[in-house]
Amino acid sequence: MRVAILNVTGYAGVELARILARHPHAELVSVTGRAEAGKKLSEVFPHLAALDLTIEPEVSASVDVVFSALPHKASAEACAPFLRQGVKVIDLSADFRLKNVAEFEEWYGVQHPCPEYLEQAVYGLTELYRKELQGCQLVANPGCYPTSAILALAPAVAEGIVKPDFIVDSKSGVSGAGRGLSLGAHFSEVNESVSAYSLNGHRHLPEITQELARLAPNEQPRVTFLPHLIPMTRGILSSCYASLKDGALPEGPKGAKELRELYLDYYQGEPFVKVSAAPPATKHTAGNNDCILYPAVDWRTNRLMVISCLDNLVKGAAGQAVHNMNVMFSLPETAGLEALALYP
DSSP 237: E
* Smallest distance from its own copies to CB 1, Å: 19
**Helix (H), strand (E) at residue 242:** strand 236-244
Amino acid identity at 173: G
DSSP per residue, 24-84 = TT-EEEEEE-STTTTSBHHHH-GGGTTS--BEESS--S--SEEEE-PPTTHHHHHHHHHHH
Closest C-alpha to 212, from 163, 131, 153, 141: 153
Closer residue to its own copies, CB minimum distance, 24 or 86: 24
Nearest distance, CB of residue 290 and its own copies, angstroms? 8
Which one among 37, 167, 213, 264 touches its own copies, defined by CB under 8 A? 167
State yes or no: residue 37 binds its own copies (CB under 8 A).
Answer: no
d(CA 285, CA 252): 29
Q: How far is CA 311 from the centre of its chain?
A: 9
Q: Which stretch binds its own copies (CB under 8 A): 106-114, 152-160, 190-198, 322-330?
A: 190-198
CA 109, CA 340: separation in Å to the nearest integer? 39
Q: Is 240 a catalytic residue?
A: no
β-strand partners of 31? 5, 55
The distance of closest approach from Cβ of residue 219 to its own copies in the complex, given in angstroms and rounded to an integer, is 14
In terms of CB distance, is 113 or 287 closer to its own copies?
A: 287
* 158 belongs to the binding site for its own copies (CB under 8 A): no
Of the candidate residues 2, 163, 214, 303, the single one contacting its own copies (CB under 8 A): 303
217 binds its own copies (CB under 8 A): no
Q: Which of 201, 250, 252, 332 binds its own copies (CB under 8 A)?
A: 201
Q: How far is the CB of 320 from its own copies (least distance, A)?
A: 17
Distance, CA of 149 to CA of 291 (rounded, Å): 10
Residue of 224, 250, 261, 332 that binds its own copies (CB under 8 A):
224
Instruction: Tell me if 213 contacts its own copies by CB under 8 A.
Output: no
For residue 27, give the amino acid letter.
E
The CA distance from 150 to 238, in Å, is 10
**Minimal distance, residue 193 CB to its own copies, in Å:** 4
Instruction: State yes or no: residue 181 binds its own copies (CB under 8 A).
Output: yes
Stretch that binds its own copies, among 55-63, 112-120, 175-183, 320-328 (CB under 8 A): 175-183
Identify the burial level of 226 via C-beta atoms within 10 angstroms of its C-beta, where 0-12 means exposed, 13-18 middle and 19 or more buried.
middle
Of 28, 92, 291, 292, the one binding its own copies by CB under 8 A: 292
- How many residues contact its own copies, by CB under 8 A? 86
Task: Kindly tell me which of 79 and 244 has the beta carbon lying closer to its own copies.
Answer: 244
Q: Which of 96-104, 109-117, 211-219, 226-234 is the region at the interface with its own copies (rule: CB under 8 A)? A: 226-234
The stretch near its own copies (CB under 8 A) out of 122-130, 140-148, 212-220, 284-292 is 284-292
244 binds its own copies (CB under 8 A): no
Pick out residues in 45-74 that bind its own copies (CB under 8 A).
45-50
DSSP-derived 3-state class of residue 106: helix
User: Which of 120/343 has CB closer to its own copies?
Assistant: 343
- Measured from the CB atom, the residue of 117 and 263 that comes closer to its own copies is 263
Backbone angles phi, psi at 128, to 5 degrees: -95, -15
Is 228 among the residues that bind its own copies (CB under 8 A)? yes
Cα 47 to Cα 9, 289, 335: the distances in Å are 13, 19, 21
Q: Which of 61, 101, 110, 196 touches its own copies by CB under 8 A?
A: 196
CA distance 151 to 308: 8
Could you give the count of Cα atoms lying within 13 Å of 271 in the half-sphere of its Cβ?
20
**Strand, helix or coil for residue 150:** helix
The residues annotated with a catalytic role in the active site are 144
